[in-house]
Structure 1
């Protein structure tokens, strides 16, 4: 994978729902890194006029499309939680397309290291694409609180999403680096800055070996 990119180091950034992945990725970006966010890519591939959105509309009907032509993500989320076969169909449609788009974006990265931000990085085997995995760790109580405050989902829906993801223990067991996001913003920034310096050093060593 690194041979096909302009970046020398790929870092997988993951964590459960409500752990702060977007916030951490933005901090890394301010320090000079670039990132590809799987959630953003997932929204792009179902944009109005896309082949994926047309397939979803054909499968589930007009009610899954909002008046402005956008996908009704809340309605779709509710539907697939109630119907495992619908969830399987949707994943078989979207996952290959999302993966292709992510790889295209990673390939075009120009920074010393690049982050692949994905909530299901480990569950979907995307960690095979990266050299290191950094896990954002928070308590399950914090996950539930932050996710219900941020999203329009009920606590029951958030718990269902958490149950479908790896447990805190499973993520930590597969982590090369851990960011503790149970504390203050200042503490979080310090951890990101420390890892930024670490990844710059690792990137430099990789580039030296390749020359």
Structure 2
């Protein structure tokens, strides 16, 4: 099994950019957001359970999960949201674990936005946090998602604080600049991780 490096950061921190830089070195990327979609694909046990609970209207005409309808259904119903989390979180964790076992690169990157919040760093050997100032997070997310600052602040409030993430981190990438220095930061960490995996010969 590969050395597992966890990658996390708040919204708008640049996790995807950083993950792509590691991928350029041939490192396997296991992305929780992608896994979360895979466990509810047509034909999956996850989707069958959701359809049984919410009825056929929860599906689009092509048999895919209607995410907007599901979001609306659980938005004002904490009990349903809890049911969904109880169903999907173990499935997502199991699939991520299976993907880690199948990884063939020198080490693999487990990308989880809510890593610290859900205590998923227990699945990793080291935790890498992409750190960014809050004002920048707000500005970048507003620009990317075309939403107002208030909405971004609400999302930030539901996530771990910068301090909580940094306290859990083994390694930190600072992304307060324009991103020009990210390749150098990733290159240095890549060498460090190869050394940890015993492959820096």
- When normalised by structure 1's length, the TM-score is 0.84
1:42 aligns with 36
For residues 177 and 145 of structure 2, what CA distance do their matches in structure 1 show? 21
For the residue of structure 1 that corresponds to 2:127, the secondary structure is strand
Task: Tell me how large the CA RMSD over aligned residues is.
Answer: 2.3
1:28 aligns with 22
For residues 151 and 75 of structure 2, what CA distance do their matches in structure 1 show? 9
Deviation at 1:141, TM superposition (A): 2.7
Please state if 1:174 is matched with 2:143.
no
Aligned residues: 201
Please state if 1:60 is matched with 2:32.
no
Shift in CA distance, 106/47, structure 1 to aligned 2, threshold 3 Å:
same
When structure 1 is superposed on structure 2, of 75-84 and 88-97 the one drifting more is: 75-84
Shift in CA distance, 66/26, structure 1 to aligned 2, threshold 3 Å:
same
Which of 14, 17, 23 is the equivalent residue of 2:11? 17
1:7-35 residue CA offsets vs partner (Å, 9 max, x unmatched): 2x211100112222122111101023212
Shift in CA distance, 97/26, structure 1 to aligned 2, threshold 3 Å:
same
Which of 65, 68, 93 is the equivalent residue of 1:71? 65
For the residue of structure 2 that corresponds to 1:204, the secondary structure is coil
Please state if 1:196 is matched with 2:190.
yes
Deviation at 1:198, TM superposition (A): 1.0
Shift in CA distance, 147/82, structure 1 to aligned 2, threshold 3 Å:
farther
Deviation at 1:157, TM superposition (A): 4.8
- When normalised by structure 2's length, the TM-score is 0.88
For residues 149 and 188 of structure 1, what CA distance do their matches in structure 2 show? 20
